[in-house]
Amino acid sequence: MTTADMQGMPPAGDGPSGTAADVTLTKERRGAAGGEAPVVSVRNLVKHFPIRSRGITRRKIGDVHAVCDVSFDIYPNETLCVVGESGCGKTTTGRLVLHLVEATAGEVIYQGRDLTKLSGGQMRPLRRDMQIVFQDPFASLDPRMTVNEIVAEPLRIHGLYGRGGAGRDAVRALLKQVGLNPEHGNRYSHEFSGGQRQRIGIARALALKPKLLVLDEPVSALDVSIQAGVINLLEDLQAELGLAYMFISHDLSVIRHIADRVVVMYLGKIVESAEAEELFGRPSHPYTQALMSAIPLPDPVKERERQRILLTGDVPSPVNPPSGCRFRTRCPMFANELNNDQREWCVNVEPALEEKFAGHTAACHFAEVRTNILEVGATGQTVAPSLARWPVGVPSDEEASRPMVCMPNAPRREPQRLSRNTEVNEEGELVIEGGS
C-alpha cells in the first residue's frame, strides 16, 4: 500500500487496526496534565532580522526569517526540549523568551505580563525569575573574575549579596549544590575542566532562585561521560527546586532522556510537538522521522540492518524560505510518494500545526506515522493519524495565494499550479519533464 492510498484509511486507534500504533506514556506527566498554570506562554512569536544594503544610507533590502509563528507553554517542574538542525531558530527562540532580543511580533506571557512590551527597566526585576545557561562554558565566564566573583555577580547586581559573611556563605552553598568544592572558589575559570565550568555557569544561573532556566545546548561542548554528570545534576536540581527548563539541543539521544515534552523546529517553524514518549513512539512529520532514523543504536546488528532516511538537498535560505511547506524541498514523501495534486498543497499552502493524535501536533498536510522507526528506520510500520485528515483535490486560489503566517500584511502570492509532467529532481526542485 502506498502513502497516497492512506488518504481514505480509517483513523488509527478506531478498532483493532489501530492498536499497533498505541504507545504507553511511561514518563510521569507534569504541567498541563496536573492542571497547573504555565510558567511562560509563548504565542505566535516572530523574529525577522533586517538585511541592509552597504553604503551610507544602509536601507533595508530584506529579512532573515529566524523565527516564524512559534507557540508553546512551559509548565512548572517540566522540561520542554527544543530540537532541530543548526540554524533552525532554537537559540533565537530561547533569547526571545527571555527578552534578550526584541521580537518582531507575538507575545511572551509571564505572570500576566507580555515581556515583549516591557522596557529594560521593567524587565530587570523579572530577570531574577528567568535565567540562561549558555552553550560554551568557557566563553560565557569572565576569565578575569574568580569563581566566587562570577557566582556572586548576579547577587550583587540585584542587591541580594547581603552583609558580613552572608554573601560568601550563599556562594559556597551554590558551589556545593552543583557538585563543586567551595574551597576552589578563589580559582579562575581556565583552571577548571569543561564540565566543571558548565557547573559554574549553572551555579550562577541558580543564584537568584529562578523559576525558569533556558539551557542553550548545555552539554554539546562536553565529552559524553561528562554530559551524563551534567544532565543528572540538572534533573536533581529540577526535582529539588521545582524548576521549569527550556532545554535547547540537537542531540535526540539526550532529549529522549531528559524531556517531558519535545518541540521540533525546522527553518524557524515548529513542525511537530508532543510529549516525549509519544513523539518518539509515533513521529508524524517526515523531518522528525529523518532525525530519529539518525539516532545510533547500541545494538550493532540492528544498527547495520536499519535503513536510514536520508534527506537530499541543502537547507533553504531563511532569507527566502520556500512557499507553502518549508520542508518540501528536502521531503522524501513530497519527492517520491505524492501525486501532483497533493504536491500543490505542499507548494502553495503553509501547513498548520494541527493535532494528529490527542496532544500531538504536526505541521504536515500528508502526515503519516512510523511506529518503530528507532528500530528499523525507513521501513517502519506506517499508520494514519487519528484526528487530522489529508486534504482532497487541489487548493483553491484563495488558499494557494495566502501570504506566510509570519508576514500577514504581505501581498498575496500567485498560486503555482503543477502540470501532469512536473517532476521533482534530486535537489527537491520542481522541473517540467522533457522541458528545457
| 286 touches 332 (CB < 8 A) | yes
One digit per residue, the tens of pLDDT, for the chain of length 436 reads 444 444 444 333 333 333 333 333 334 445 555 568 999 999 999 999 999 988 888 888 899 999 999 999 999 999 999 999 999 999 999 999 999 999 999 999 999 999 999 999 999 999 999 999 999 988 999 999 999 999 999 999 999 998 888 999 999 999 999 999 999 999 999 999 999 999 999 999 999 999 999 999 999 888 888 899 999 999 999 999 999 999 999 989 899 989 999 999 999 999 999 999 999 999 999 999 999 988 888 888 888 888 888 888 889 999 999 999 999 999 999 998 999 999 999 999 999 999 999 999 999 999 999 888 887 777 777 888 989 899 999 999 999 999 999 888 888 888 999 888 888 877 777 886 655 4
| 377 touches 308 (CB < 8 A) | yes
Which residues make Cβ contacts (< 8 Å) with residue 234, sequence separation at least 6?
A: 202, 215, 218, 245, 258
Angle at 358 between CA 258 and CA 29, to 5 degrees: 35
| 186 touches 224 (CB < 8 A) | no
In terms of Cβ atoms closer than 10 Å to its own Cβ (0-12, 13-18, 19+), residue 366 is buried
| 148 touches 161 (CB < 8 A) | no
pLDDT of residue 422: 85
| 128 touches 209 (CB < 8 A) | yes
Beta strand segments in 7-114, E: 40-52, 60-74, 79-83, 105-110, 113-114
Residue 182: CB atoms within 10 Å? 16
Amino acid in the structure at residue 421: N
According to CATH, what is the number of the domain 32-53+61-259? 3.40.50.300
Q: Quickly tell me which residue has 504536491 as its cell.
A: 343
Listed by start position, the domains of the chain span: 4-18+283-432, 32-53+61-259
pLDDT of residue 420: 82
The span from the CA of 318 to the CA of 48, in Å, is 10
Residue 393: CB atoms within 10 Å? 9
pLDDT of residue 31: 55
The span from the CA of 349 to the CA of 415, in Å, is 9
Q: In which region does residue 58 sit, left (phi positive, over 0), alpha (psi from -120 to 50) or beta (all else)?
A: left
Which residues make Cβ contacts (< 8 Å) with residue 65, sequence separation at least 6?
A: 48, 267, 268, 318, 319, 321, 406
Q: Which sign, positive or negative, has the C-alpha torsion 296, 301, 302, 307?
A: positive
pLDDT in tens, 227-249: 999 999 999 999 999 999 999 99
| 275 touches 261 (CB < 8 A) | yes
Per the DSSP assignment, residues forming a β-bridge with 264 are 83, 272
Q: Long-range contacts: 189-195, Cβ < 8 Å, 24+?
A: 189/138, 189/141, 189/142, 189/143, 189/145, 189/147, 189/150, 190/138, 190/143, 192/147, 193/226, 194/137, 194/138, 194/221, 194/222, 194/223, 194/226, 195/137, 195/222, 195/223, 195/226, 195/229, 195/230
> Dihedral angle at the C-alpha atoms of 261, 267, 271, 277, nearest 10 degrees?
-30
pLDDT of residue 18: 36
Which residues make Cβ contacts (< 8 Å) with residue 432, sequence separation at least 6?
A: 419, 421, 422, 423
Q: Quickly tell me which residue has 532569507 as its cell.
A: 319
pLDDT of residue 34: 57
pLDDT of residue 434: 53
pTM of the model: 0.88
| 354 touches 263 (CB < 8 A) | no
pLDDT in tens, 267-305: 999 999 999 999 999 999 999 999 998 888 888 888 888
Of 273, 395, 296, 300, give the one whose Cα is nearest residue 343: 395
pLDDT of residue 25: 36
Q: Which residues of 257-270 are buried (b: 16+ CB within 10 A; e: fewer)?
A: ebbbbbbbbbbbbb
Give the distance, in angstroms, between the CA of residue 173 and the centroid of all CA atoms in the same chain.
33
